[in-house]
Amino acid sequence: MPRYGCVTEPISGDSGRSGSSGARDLLDPRVCALIGERGFADLSEAQERAIPPLLKGENLVLIAPTGTGKTESAMFPVFDSLLREGGEGFRALYITPLRALNRDILGRLAWWCGHLGLTVGVRHGDTPQNERRKQALNPPNLLITTPETVQALFMGKRLRKHLEGIRHVVVDEIHELAGSKRGAQLAVALERLEEYAGRFQRIGLSATVGNPEDIGRYLCGDRPFRLVEVPVAEGLDLSVRLCDGDFSRQARCVGGLIDASPSSLVFVNTRVTAEALGHALLERGDVDVHHGSLSKEVRVDAEDRFRDGVLRALICTSSMELGIDIGHIAHVVQFGSPREVARLVQRIGRAGHHLFAVSRGTVLATGFDDLLESLVIVRRARASAVEAVTPYVNAADVLANVVAAMAVEYGEVPCSRLLSVVERSGCFTDAASLLDRVCEQMAAHRLIRIEGEGRERRIITTSRARRYLAANLSMIHDERKVPVFDIVTRSTVGTLDESFVVGFVHPGAVFITRGKLWRVLEFEEGRLTVEPAREARGELPSWEGEQIPVPWAVAQEVGALRRGREIGAYTDDPDAARYVAAYLGEMDRNRTPVPTDRLITVENSDEGVVCNICAGHRANETIARVLSILISARHGTSVGIEAGAYRAVLRLPKGIRSAEVRDLLLETDPAHIPGILRLALRRTALFKWKLVQVAKKFGAIDADADYERISIHRLLETFDGTVVQEEAYSELFRDYLDADTAAEVFRSVQGGDVDLHCGPLSILGAEGLTSSRDIIPPPTADQAVITSLKRRIAGDEVILFCMHCKRWKSRTRVERVPERPTCPQCSARLIAALKPWEEDVTAAVRKKKRTTEEEAAAARALRNANLVLTYGKPAVAALAARGVGPETAARICARATEGDAFYREIQKAERKYVLTRRFW
């Protein structure tokens, strides 16, 4: 096989049942026997084609749909090798992007290892210290881990020794890693591993991608590898259904699709939408929300209830995209366009999710843009036209992390060796100049010392380097998560990103999380205390950068579909065809041109100018920022921008109209776009946020530094012209913007390939101005709050203490207290109900000589007991509430002692306590 290249297996015409046992016969008889025992009647096509080259020791990337047995394709040959070669300690690594996936893979592979006499372990950030120590002393043959924990393996002297035995590395869901800085860091880590283990077999398992050869080079560097691709389209049963109208109607459509299948995953594109849809379907009782900002306990509980059949559906984001086992999924609903072909294929593939099953999915389109986009993406999925995943190349903060890591690993390391290791990976090329700049920056922050000159230069570790690494094992940017604490249930219901809390939250603010409305009571000591809210409007939590961008190719095909109007080539649904015809017919009647892939329309509105451009999110974001800074510089006015896949909205003063925007599109030199963007970004909150994140990854700012307390002027001054600033710009240009495509749009307009038209606001342009949504809580929301409060108070602990004999004391729960508590020793009914932390009051009551403080506590206990004497168990319930003492409990009981009214009074008292306690 050639170097820096791959051998591609021919694609079989049959992607279903193989019917062949050839690959199986090549495996060790012990593995073959277990395959039969585990119930594998036949191997899948992926397994048949991947196993033979893997048994030969070849590096391999397997590209196959979800549910085709990729894990077993890799592990059957690895098991074979481990049995044949023997040996102690680490022999194979299995790397996944998620801890949850680690746990899932462990559950699947432990059975095989147990029956084959092999040992297996899992190691990630949550692994207990005693388990880590056991692994260091007696390492398992197979270690399941994450990219971050691979970095940690190099830090321990004993663990580094165990790395010498590794002969196989499997990287699962490699498409999730290759396009990120986590992936770049992992690619270098594999080269660092080779310094100990020598050559080892590299196996990548990937969902369908548009550039599999690049994924192979990412994994293997310049080493030869084999590429096995299994077609995805034949295993998909896809349909698009239109559900136009308001959000409540769309939620009912989702409910109908849920009712039509025994089990469904409902995918949405953002946690914002997950919360809104969960809120709308809350009263069903058989649906829950699942996303990454909910606490682990809440997510696991939802997964378990779905697996057990208690839930009929989970509304989820990308948290459920990867193959975590939650039981059988009959149907996948994609609410709204999936935005990308790869995203659709991965999500729909969760349905069925076993060998030879067809994955059935429905895309629920919610409007004109959404419908056309969904139809285009489904067509491209059937044609296997999946987007490319572009590996990160020459990321400066990744290189900084590697420099610190290798300095700590070796104590000192020659620059030449460092450069050799990073350039062997597929993620750094011609990096000598970048390495020099990175090392100088790190030396300035005393993370390393540089000694020697030229090729003889060496990197020396410092005490700060190890501390830096401990806080920066991951290349995921740190953003503190703020726990959301419900005072009614006294439990944490989820977390919000720090950026959302800093920018939005204040006492009294209402937002939605976990499908419910919450009102903020206080934000203190890093925790947000809330109560269920009954208002009709709520701000949906915002998570940075989670909106999935529509690619240029998809947006252009949508534009072509608008232009040709050949909807029948995409769907035979008469409702969809009538809807599109009516929408475009309305545009024609209004004599407003339809923007397409060959026509840009620039429209005036009361709020500014709408530029209708079929260029995708990133290109339109770029164009909007370029136009905004040019207009701002010319008129000395601020310009608001909003960008989507098919339009960019410029919010402008009334004197600035579409003609000026048209002129800027015609006159701006495309070559100047990168420079204009740098000026446009320099003083934005987005740039400050990114600059802080990159500086933290360089160790230039402490990992726990408070973003809000860092001066942007000082930031810009400190990092001006440095590699830190360059990397911040680079990351923004890559992840948020598309300067190359934007420049191509300007060139196409100026060259006449794309026409420009100015005019009044059209119904299509108005889509960019009307994206807000009201959220209405269901009528049973208040009752659900009261039910939760009743349940919580019933389970609260109280201490019953007889104020008459002063001998009897009992710890119990409110639900077990009799209606009229009585002392079993003296038959008195003067019983105080104390909270568990008030138990020392009983000692004060028994004393004959008391301090002033003890006298006050005894008097308070007596008032407490008199209240229980008068009202019985309701007084005990009131006194168990948070912040409720005898005086407040007396007022509660005087107003009501039964029913919902009683618990509403308790809720009011607890709320008042939270709001006022800081003033006490």
> How confident is the model at residue 709, as a pLDDT?
64
Q: Are residues 842 and 742 in the same domain?
A: no
Q: Which domain does 489 fall in, by range?
A: 481-532
**Contact status, residue 549 vs residue 385, Cβ threshold 8 Å:** no
Q: Which of 365, 387, 427 is nearest to 238 (CA)?
A: 365
Q: Are residues 242 and 330 in the same domain?
A: yes
- Please give the structure tokens belonging to residue 228: 């096995």
Count of structural domains within the chain: 6
Q: What is the mean pLDDT of residues 141-160?
A: 90
- Give CA angle at 21 (19, 26), nearest 5°: 160
Tell me the per-residue pLDDT of 492-536, one tens digit each, with 9 for 90 and over: 887 777 656 654 566 777 776 655 678 888 877 778 888 887 654
463 falls within a domain: yes
**Domain-terminating residue out of 210, 232, 254:** 232
pLDDT > 50? residue 329: yes
Tell me the per-residue pLDDT of 779-833, one tens digit each, with 9 for 90 and over: 344 566 787 788 889 989 999 999 999 999 999 999 999 999 999 999 999 999 9
263 falls within a domain: yes
Tell me the per-residue pLDDT of 238-296, one tens digit each, with 9 for 90 and over: 999 999 888 888 999 999 999 999 999 999 988 778 888 988 888 888 999 988 767 77
70 falls within a domain: yes
Q: What is the mean pLDDT of residues 118-126?
A: 85
902 falls within a domain: yes
CATH number of the domain bearing residue 248: 3.40.50.300
Q: Are residues 153 and 241 in the same domain?
A: no
Q: Are residues 99 and 223 in the same domain?
A: yes
Give bridge partners of residue 206 from the DSSP assignment: 63
Q: Are residues 603 and 747 in the same domain?
A: yes
Task: Write out 5-66 in H/E/C secondary structure.
Answer: CEEECCCCCCCCECCCCHHHHHCCHHHHHHHHHCCCCCCEHHHHHHHHHHHCCCCEEEECCC
CATH number of the domain bearing residue 443: 1.10.10.10
Quickly state the pLDDT bin for 20 (edges 50, 70, 90).
Answer: very low
More confident residue, 581 or 276: 581
DSSP of 603-668: EEETTEEEEE--S-HHHHHHHHHHHHHHHHHHHT---EEEE-SSEEEEE--TT--HHHHHHHHHHS
Q: Are residues 218 and 250 in the same domain?
A: no
**Domain-terminating residue out of 185, 211, 232:** 232
Q: Are residues 246 and 191 in the same domain?
A: no
pLDDT > 50? residue 10: no
355 falls within a domain: yes
574 falls within a domain: no
135 falls within a domain: yes
Q: Are residues 492 and 418 in the same domain?
A: no
Q: Are residues 191 and 125 in the same domain?
A: yes
Round to whole Å and give the CA distance between 126 and 110.
Answer: 19
Residues whose CB is less than 8 angstroms from the CB of residue 847 and which lie 6 or more positions away in sequence, other chains included: 854
**Domain-terminating residue out of 422, 442, 471:** 471
Q: Are residues 665 and 716 in the same domain?
A: yes
**Contact status, residue 52 vs residue 18, Cβ threshold 8 Å:** no
Residues whose CB is less than 8 angstroms from the CB of residue 635 and which lie 6 or more positions away in sequence, other chains included: 653, 655, 656
Q: Are residues 409 and 523 in the same domain?
A: no
Q: Are residues 221 and 85 in the same domain?
A: yes
663 falls within a domain: yes
Maximum CA pair distance of the chain? 100
